[in-house]
Amino acid sequence: MENKMFCFQCQETAKCQGCTIVGVCGKKPEVALMQDLLVYATKGLAAVAYELNEEGAEVPMALDRLVCANLFATITNANFDLEAITSRVEDTLRASSSLVEQVKDKSKLPAAALWNDKRENFATKAASDEVGVLSTKDEDKRSLRELITYGLKGLAAYLHHASVLGYEDADIYAFMEEGLTKLLDDSLDVNELVALTLKTGDFGVKGMALLDKANTETYGNPEITKVDLGVRKNPGILVSGHDLKDLEQLLEQTQGSGVDVYTHGEMLAAHYYPKFKKYENFAGNYGNAWWKQKEEFEAFAGPVLMTTNCIVPPNDSYKDRLWTTGATGYPGCRKITADEKGRKDFSAIIAQAKKCQPPKELEKGEIVGGFAHEQVFALADKVVEAVKSGAIKKFVVMAGCDGRQKSREYYAEFAKALPKDTVILTAGCAKYKYIKLGLGDIGGIPRVLDAGQCNDSYSLALIALKLKEVFGLDDVNELPIVYNIAWYEQKAVIVLLALLALGVKNIHLGPTLPAFLSPNVAKLLVENFGIGTISTVEDDIKSMIG
Ligand code: SF4
Ligand code: SF3
């Protein structure tokens, strides 16, 4: 049967090969095709920007932001709204065509940069041979091009978060545009694409460092924090995703309203920042990782604000309580947009919350987190002492994403099976598999140290580099640290490329290796970086912990 779409960008892709009829995530084929077209048009826009840069002309930052916002909207589970994606294609073509006139030597521009058309022709273009993953015929080039594209999508999301806080870096934007342009260049061979992959990792580190600076300078350094898992008596608003600025604006606007604000999924990490602690109505964390949202949003009873991925197509029973903003979108769900100053008006959500019942309690208790770099550095003496005395034998980095596949139970079982003298370093929603298991502590140091969101994996890298320095080692791989990372969507791809750029070797990636790695590209990653996947808990405990 002919493909209606082709997408293999996430870990849950159909049969570990590709979604060809409809997305396992719920993405419809027409949305998948329009997202492919958006990526094509965005590469075209990036090529115009790149050429202007090369010619020494100034590229407005609004254009860089558009490139990032577009890529962000195509991340798994971010935006399911055909109209929103189609409008983005139109906006992108408008931006391209106004800038292209300024390019002196148009002969250097690829076809995507010169393409322009009306919306009624978009579907035909999207289905053409020039657009989409399968437009690259060579399997290895396709694999590397997509690996880079997905890394850039993750990077784009992180740059977007930094930019809304006023932190931007022209060099990183310029690389983003150079990278996207090179993905349109058929003359690049496999070796050049491998070099571009590594360079993407270098800029991944820079992008995560920028976001870390943006978050910590704006909201303070994360600190050890107990986060309540229960509920209060007021009606509430649940905030999910990664955008701290959205949360801040909502907290400001809910002051004195009698409405509490709870976090869900990746937003949990907001509790660790000092600046958010002043809000008395900032209640606690409700529920778990993204994939449990159907039952948890149902039970929450009040409005839910999705600031970023990951949206699961909602049930009708709570669809009118699901709100989107930023890169996210879902047909039939209301969206809050920012004004020209970046201000968002959440009054409609607050008004809806006031008419809702308080959330239904799912659990009681608390979790402890906030172990980002500065907090861990403050504990460095204690940690080093515990390593020297043998109380801590190994650190296991278990960062990344959670997901709904049964095979991911592996991560809970692996965490439970770890010897008591091991400490888990985590970031991202992967933690929900083991952060509530009560794994105890080692001399007051919790056995699960949560640095925060997936982008805070940067913190874990800084912690590793600090330990390397303290122990006087030459190579970060000599540390007693093993990496057992779970991935799902494209932010995990940039995290992985960033770790490789920092010289980390022998990362185990699961629960399956990406479908977009061709056998040759997978071999290259194995031979050069020791990348492997997972096996059984028993075998992996033996091989990783010994
Ligand atoms: Fe399939 Fe994942 Fe693409 Fe959704 S994002 S269509 S599940 S590969
Ligand atoms: Fe999770 Fe979507 Fe990736 Fe940010 S929220 S780690 S999956």
The answer to whether 8 and 107 are in contact (CB under 8 A) is no
Question: Concatenated DSSP letters for 457-488?
Answer: HHHHHHHHHHHHHHTT-S-GGGSSEEEEEE--
d(CA 365, CA 304): 22
Q: What pLDDT is attached to residue 1?
A: 65
Contact residues for 534 (Cβ-Cβ < 8 A; gap 6+)? 410, 484, 508, 509, 510, 511, 540
Q: What pLDDT is attached to residue 312?
A: 98
The answer to whether 150 and 493 are in contact (CB under 8 A) is yes
pLDDT at 102 exceeding the cut of 80:
yes
The predicted-structure confidence for 449-463, as pLDDT tens digits, reads as follows 999 999 999 999 999
Nearest of 77, 72, 29, 85 to residue 294 by alpha carbon: 77
Look at residue 67 and give its three-state secondary structure: helix
Q: Give the mean pLDDT of 201-208.
A: 98
Ligand approaching nearest to the C-alpha of 516: 1
Burial zone of 118 (CB within 10 Å; 0-12 exposed, 13-18 middle, 19+ buried): exposed
d(CA 93, CA 114): 9
Which residue's alpha carbon is at the smallest distance from atom 7 of ligand 2? 401
Q: Can you name the residues that pair with 344 across neighbouring β-strands?
A: 338
Q: What pLDDT is attached to residue 387?
A: 96
Candidates 19, 34, 134: which one to mutate for ligand 1, based on the most atoms within 8 Å of Cβ?
Answer: 19
Longest dimension (CA), the chain: 69
Q: What pLDDT is attached to residue 413?
A: 98
pLDDT at 327 exceeding the cut of 90:
yes
Output the CA 166–ligand 1 centroid distance in Å: 32
Q: Give the mean pLDDT of 183-209.
A: 98
pLDDT at 478 exceeding the cut of 70:
yes
Which residue's alpha carbon is at the smallest distance from atom 4 of ligand 2? 454
**In this structure, which amino acid lies at residue 65?**
R
Q: What percent of the chain has pLDDT over 70?
A: 100
Output the CA 290–ligand 2 centroid distance in Å: 7
The predicted-structure confidence for 137-153, as pLDDT tens digits, reads as follows 999 999 999 999 999 99
pLDDT at 493 exceeding the cut of 80:
yes
Continuous segment of H or E residues that includes residue 397: strand 394-397
pLDDT at 368 exceeding the cut of 80:
yes
Q: Give the mean pLDDT of 370-384.
A: 96
Q: Give the mean pLDDT of 408-416.
A: 98
> With helix as H, strand as E and coil as C, how does 73-139 read?
HCCCCCECCHHHHHHHHHHHHHHHHHHHCCCCCHHHCCHHHHCCCCHHHHHHHHCCCCCCHHHCCCH
d(CA 151, CA 9): 10
pLDDT at 44 exceeding the cut of 70:
yes
d(CA 333, CA 323): 6
The answer to whether 241 and 306 are in contact (CB under 8 A) is yes
Burial zone of 278 (CB within 10 Å; 0-12 exposed, 13-18 middle, 19+ buried): exposed
Q: What pLDDT is attached to residue 441?
A: 97
DSSP letter at 257 equals T
Output the CA 309–ligand 1 centroid distance in Å: 13
Which residue's alpha carbon is at the smallest distance from atom 3 of ligand 2? 401
Q: What pLDDT is attached to residue 111?
A: 97
Instruction: Characterize the bridge pairing of strands 422-426 and 448-450.
Output: parallel
Contact residues for 528 (Cβ-Cβ < 8 A; gap 6+)? none
Q: What pLDDT is attached to residue 148?
A: 98
pLDDT at 268 exceeding the cut of 70:
yes
Question: Concatenated DSSP letters for 275-340?
Answer: GGGG-TTEEEE-S-SGGGHHHHHHHH-S-EEE-SS------HHHHTTEEEETT-B-TTSEEE-B-T
d(CA 84, CA 90): 10
d(CA 237, CA 322): 10
Nearest of 377, 513, 363 to residue 435 by alpha carbon: 363
Nearest of 413, 439, 424, 427 to residue 535 by alpha carbon: 413
Nearest of 265, 260, 212, 240 to residue 325 by alpha carbon: 240
The mean predicted confidence, pLDDT, of the chain is: 97
Candidates 211, 455, 491, 496: which one to mutate for ligand 2, based on the most atoms within 8 Å of Cβ?
Answer: 491
Output the CA 451–ligand 2 centroid distance in Å: 14
Burial zone of 1 (CB within 10 Å; 0-12 exposed, 13-18 middle, 19+ buried): exposed
Q: What percent of the chain has pLDDT over 90?
A: 99
Q: Which residues line ligand 2 (CB under 6 A)?
A: 242, 265-266, 290, 309-310, 401, 428-429, 453-454, 488-489, 491-492
Which residue's alpha carbon is at the smallest distance from atom 5 of ligand 1? 76
Q: What pLDDT is attached to residue 322?
A: 98
Q: Which atom belonging to ligand 1 lies closest to the Cα atom of 10?
A: 2
**In this structure, which amino acid lies at residue 341?**
K
pLDDT at 524 exceeding the cut of 70:
yes
Nearest of 135, 133, 143, 153 to residue 190 by alpha carbon: 143
Q: Give the mean pLDDT of 311-322.
A: 98
Output the CA 51–ligand 2 centroid distance in Å: 34
The predicted-structure confidence for 110-141, as pLDDT tens digits, reads as follows 999 999 999 999 999 999 999 999 999 999 99
Q: Which atom belonging to ligand 2 lies closest to the Cα atom of 453?
A: 4
The predicted-structure confidence for 496-520, as pLDDT tens digits, reads as follows 999 999 999 999 999 999 999 999 9
Q: What pLDDT is attached to residue 2?
A: 83
Q: Give the mean pLDDT of 174-193.
A: 98
Q: What pLDDT is attached to residue 546?
A: 87
Q: Would you give the distance in Å from CA 174 to the centre of its chain?
A: 21
Q: Which residues line ligand 1 (CB under 6 A)?
A: 7-10, 12-13, 19, 23-25, 27, 32, 76
